[in-house]
Chain A
Amino acid sequence: MTSTIENQRAPFPIAFYRSAVGKKWAMAVTGLAIILFTIAHMIGNWKIFFPDVDGIPEIDLYAEALRGLLFPLLPEHVVLWIMRTGLIVVFLLHIHAAYSLTIMNRRARQDDYAGPRQYIAANYASRTMRWSGTIFLAFLLFHLADLTWGFQPMAPEVWERGEVYANFVATFSRAPVALLYVVAMAALALHLYHGAWSMFQSLGVNHPRFNLWRKGFALGLAVLVFVGNSIMPISVLFGWVG
């Protein structure tokens, strides 16, 4: 019972986060935030399918508008940076919780079964969360270098800040890059197939009325994110866009 008393002394959020159940809450909440961001990001990017406005691509206008959110109430870029900071914190928390829970779980199960281990309920997605997450994180860094920072050689040679549409077309005209994006989306979809269901369980959102919907929701979300995002590099690759 010492742990409870010790935890009581720490401020509530820290005491809560110290426990594994608390870390799972953090993973679920940050996971939900990342899901919402992913969907907003995807919908925003669909603007590449729309015609130019006065010779300027729709998505370039959208990117400019994001920079000017709440302007002139706040200086330009402020709201965007608040959102970016929030997103970075959310990602760091998600990764830290996953890392420390992994360490805890490895310690709790040191010896594996020597016999043929038969999984009955665990599926491929649930058993590869660490892999799909790590692969997606590596992709995320590539993606930022490619389309946000314009670092060579990840970004196309013609990359230019602010030219969202041109950069977009240039990067996906490279077949290996387009393929990499599709593979990364498959990893993300796999991660979401378990994560989006697991989230309800970790948050204690459980009711016979909608328990059956939770796995359907996770599957639908995984398909939506995979198809909705992969369609963009594929469209460029096959010349439907650009």
Chain B
Amino acid sequence: MNITLQVWRQDGPGVTGGFKTYQVTDVSPEMSFLEMLDLLNERLTNQGEEPVAFDHDCREGICGTCGVMINGQAHGPQLGTATCQLHMRKFQDGATIVVEPWRATGFPILRDLVVDRSAFDRIMEAGGYITVDTGSAPDANLIPVPKPVADTAFDAAACIGCGACVAACPNGAANLFTAAKVSHLNLLPQGQAERWTRTERMVEIMEEFFGSCTNHGECEKACPKSISIDFIAMMNADYVKAKFKNRRLLAQRG
């Protein structure tokens, strides 16, 4: 396969970037999108040019490190797939592919296709945890969880924090990420003690960095784990409850 790539090149944070066109010849259809970028980088290096910087780690769709905008779609044209699991056979021979970094004010560009997603870490620090005794691990299944609840919590926990939801959102909102993280813990018995402070804090920290949800549903389609926007509804319901509950907690009543 021969591919024409239009890649966003930017030397560093805050500087002006632009598209650069590369011809990538002899691409195997069995290559993943990232392997195709590796091939390009190898050739660029051999030519003495600066390789294209992009984020990647596990390359098996579970770490959430990779992710670029491919032809205007986060993680490319295949739904429910991270960039590393997208294969070149999904593209036509001779196709022109536009590759851009996630664009959102909450995700400043560091270099080329790499963005700074530490705003997600700020949201997690605000409440994406439970408080437990450390020490030896407790026996499994000591705390009974109804099966449907466990399944739903697991669906939320599937979030790998790649940021595709923010990238795809026309408002640069992180509601799907935050909702997944909030719901994952709010659904489970272990998450109940901090449920209301978690919801309030995570939502409010999220709003310091990102936009607001207008229910387009683009995030759900962009998500490599196909996380449902039903979780955003759950978070909205819990947020208003949290405002009441936290007033009671302030008076040291449950």
Contacts and interface: CB of A to CB of B under 8 A. Distances in A.
Contacts of A221: none
Given A19-B239, A115-B71, A3 B208 contact: yes
Interface residues of A, number: 48
A109 B204 contact: no
A205 B232 CA distance: 10
A4 B215 contact: no
Given A105-B172, A113-B69, A204-B234, A24 B213 contact: yes
A148 interface: no
A109 B240 contact: no
B237 A115 contact: no
B221 A120 contact: yes
Q: How many interface residues does chain B have, given as a range?
A: 35 or more
B236 A21 contact: yes
The secondary structure that dominates the A interface is helix
Nearest to B8: A114
User: B19, B201, B213: which has the most chain A beta carbons within 10 Å?
Assistant: B213
A97 to B, nearest CB: 10
Contacts of B208: 3
A198 B72 contact: no
Interface string A99-132: 0010011011111111111111110001101000
Nearest to A197: B215
Contacts, number: 157
A145 B217 CA distance: 38
B214 A206 contact: no
Contacts of B170: 105, 109, 122, 127
Q: Among A4, A8, A108, A115, which residue has the most Cβ atoms of chain B within 10 A?
A: A108
Contacts of B172: 105, 108-109
A7 interface: yes
B229 A115 contact: no
B189 to A, nearest CB: 21
B98 interface: yes
Given A8-B246, A16-B243, A109 B232 contact: no
B171 interface: yes
Nearest to A15: B243
Interface in A1-27: 1, 3-4, 7-8, 12, 15-16, 19-25
A105 B221 contact: no
Contacts of A3: 204-205, 207-208
Nearest to A198: B215
B233 A200 contact: yes
A202 interface: yes
Interface of A: 1, 3-4, 7-8, 12, 15-16, 19-25, 101, 104-105, 107-122, 126-127, 129, 194, 197-198, 200-206, 211
12 contacts: A1-B126, A4-B200, A23-B212, A24-B236, A101-B212, A114-B19, A115-B6, A115-B98, A121-B216, A121-B217, A204-B235, A204-B236
Given A113-B72, A115-B6, A204-B234, 11 more contacts: A4-B197, A12-B243, A12-B247, A20-B211, A25-B236, A108-B105, A108-B171, A109-B104, A115-B99, A120-B73, A204-B237
